[in-house]
Amino acid sequence: MESDSKKKRDFLLPASILIAALLVSISLVYSVGKRAGGDDNKLTGNLVDNVKVPDSSPINIKPISSEDHILGDVDASVKIIEFSDLECPFCKSFHQTMQKVLENYGNKVAWVYRHYPIDQLHSKARKEAEASECANELGGPLGSEASNQAFWAYVDKIFEITPSNDGLDLKQLPEIAAEIGLDKTKFEECLASGRQAEKVEAGVRDAANAGARGTPYSIVIAKSGKKYIIPGALPFNDPDPSRLSVKLIVDEALK
């Protein structure tokens, strides 16, 4: 009996450690996304200094290129690189915030979308990210305005219809493609081939190098080269001047 009890203890201990580590990881990821509206937003001193990246701490992020998905003027004074997960409820909310940014700032701001599906939380997000890249491929010549528009139309539709947290039926992915005017058969072939998987994985690596620990994770780059972090799904604006908002950060970057 004592030997059996010892075996059970020996089995349960590493299992308990693994579960605890997973819970800590999930808590960290969600704490990043939930920053908007929480007391963590109410910071002291100069609010912008709390999110400005010191020159001595460069962010290792891939430079913006023609391979990126960019909405807005590519020559905009301020660029916002967002790492996003298509099944993240905070990303769904922040997607609308970023649309509001472009509406309010026009050609002063460009929005760059990069993939960061968090597999531990959203098992469907990676395949949905690949689907958006298939939309990009089939929308027109790669790098063209047509392919870029197809990508954004697909991402917009995903966020519009998904309940988040793996609530979207993956069978809907080809239907979305057809709805935005893509060839459904070619789309299904692209998605089944897995040829967009590496591009999505490259986004995940880039997010890790840039310091992302959850989604949404966004980096604001001013024309001067100064960088600011948008920590989670901040609101576009906040009536309380002691709280961070996207507008506050963008206005600082535009100075």
The CATH code of the domain that includes 235 is 3.40.30.10
Q: Does any domain span residue 17?
A: no
pLDDT of residue 241: 85
- Give residues with Cβ within 8 angstroms of 144, minimum separation 6: none
- Give residues with Cβ within 8 angstroms of 41, minimum separation 6: 35, 234, 238, 243, 244
Report yes or no: 83 and 217 within 8 Å, Cβ to Cβ: yes
Domain interval for residue 64? 32-254
pLDDT in tens, 46-91: 889 999 998 877 789 999 999 999 999 999 999 999 999 999 999 9
Give, in degrees to the nearest 5, the angle at Cα 25 between 22 and 29: 140
Cα separation, 83 vs 117, in Å, equals 9
The predicted model gives 227-249 an average pLDDT of: 95
Q: Is the pLDDT of residue 217 over 50?
A: yes
Q: Does any domain span residue 42?
A: yes
Q: Does any domain span residue 129?
A: yes
pLDDT of residue 4: 53
Q: Does any domain span residue 155?
A: yes
Q: Does any domain span residue 209?
A: yes
Q: Does any domain span residue 61?
A: yes
Q: Is omega for the bond preceding 216 within 30 degrees of 0, making it cis?
A: yes
Q: Does any domain span residue 67?
A: yes
Q: Does any domain span residue 1?
A: no
Split into its structural domains, the chain has a count of 1
Q: Is the pLDDT of residue 97 over 50?
A: yes
Name the one residue in this structure whose structure tokens are 């089939």. Answer: 138
Q: Is the pLDDT of residue 11 over 50?
A: no
The predicted model gives 117-134 an average pLDDT of: 98
